[in-house]
């Protein structure tokens, strides 16, 4: 086993919880489940979870408001452009992008979440599929993917989907927990995002940037976060 990002072969035991074992790369500090479950095992976790149904989405009202506030910060990257939410849940961000002037689509593996999104936001487009089966028919100017990358067992497949969704000059906005933050609780098992096998890996700013660089994206800027979160904007180069 080598590091999935920098391919270094110096791995150390990181943390164990129940039957789950994390390793950490000495060179780039990427921490990941070792062995890694496969994506179909992980996808099974996202059916019938968290009380989401076609007619009900928990905390829908506050999600709508937060989505609009979040989208406002990102306005320059999608206004009068096309936007895609990879891992869109109930479609709150997709609707916010549309209200603020984008042509917006979203994809989620959770069929109930997509049934909800289609019912509540009929003016947006939604797809219910696993990202690794997804073959986009077109590319987008802006791709938003929040709190998804830490769930993905096959980073190469995830990056390949981002490549297929974008063209040169497209922007990609990623959020994920930040293992490099000094706000990560000790022991790490006290961190609210430490939830194997839902979260299979943890990044810091440098190894996330390295992964994106390897797939033709340059970091544009990092957005501030009040907690131990990474919020990073990338631009596709070629």
Q: How many residues bind Zn ion (CB under 5 A)?
A: 8
Strand partners, 84: 105, 143
Find the binding residues for Zn ion in span 4-63 (CB under 5 A): 5-6, 8, 25, 27-28, 30
Q: Compare residues 13 and 185 and give the one whose CB is closer to Zn ion.
A: 13
Strand partners, 16: 21
Q: Compare residues 10 and 50 and give the one whose CB is closer to Zn ion.
A: 10
- H or E element in which residue 125 lies: strand 125-128
In the complex, the smallest distance separating the C-beta of residue 29 from Zn ion, rounded to whole angstroms, is 7
Which residue do the tokens 């994206």 mark? 217
In the complex, the smallest distance separating the C-beta of residue 163 from Zn ion, rounded to whole angstroms, is 21
Q: Of 16, 54, 205, 46, which is closest to residue 130 (Cα–Cα)?
A: 46
Q: Of 61, 106, 65, which is closest to residue 83 (Cα–Cα)?
A: 106
- Confirm if 229 and 184 have CB atoms less than 8 A apart: no
In the complex, the smallest distance separating the C-beta of residue 26 from Zn ion, rounded to whole angstroms, is 8
Q: Compare residues 32 and 142 and give the one whose CB is closer to Zn ion.
A: 32
In the complex, the smallest distance separating the C-beta of residue 11 from Zn ion, rounded to whole angstroms, is 8
Which residues in this chain contact Zn ion in the complex, by CB under 5 A?
A: 3, 5-6, 8, 25, 27-28, 30
């Amino acid at each position: 086993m080598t590091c999935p990002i920098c391919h270094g072969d110096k791995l150390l035991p990181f943390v164990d919880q129940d039957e789950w074992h994390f390793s950490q790369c000495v060179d780039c500090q990427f921490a990941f489940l070792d062995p890694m479950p496969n994506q179909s095992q992980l996808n099974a976790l996202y059916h019938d979870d968290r009380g989401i149904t076609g007619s009900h989405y928990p905390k829908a009202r506050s999600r709508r408001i937060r989505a609009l506030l979040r989208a406002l910060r990102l306005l320059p990257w999608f206004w009068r452009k096309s936007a895609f939410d990879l891992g869109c849940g109930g479609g709150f961000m997709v609707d916010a992008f549309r209200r603020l002037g984008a042509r917006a689509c979203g994809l989620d593996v959770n069929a109930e979440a997509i049934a909800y999104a289609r019912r509540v936001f009929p003016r947006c487009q939604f797809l219910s599929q696993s990202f690794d089966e997804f073959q986009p028919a077109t590319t987008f100017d802006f791709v938003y993917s929040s709190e998804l990358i830490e769930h993905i067992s096959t980073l190469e497949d995830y990056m390949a989907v981002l490549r297929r969704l974008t063209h040169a000059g497209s922007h990609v906005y990623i959020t994920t927990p930040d293992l490099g933050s000094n706000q990560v609780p000790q022991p790490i098992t006290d961190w609210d995002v430490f939830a194997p096998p839902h979260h299979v890996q943890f990044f810091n700013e440098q190894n996330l940037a390295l992964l994106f660089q390897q797939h033709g994206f340059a970091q544009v800027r990092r957005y501030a976060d009040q907690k131990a979160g990474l919020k990073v904007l990338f631009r596709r180069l070629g």
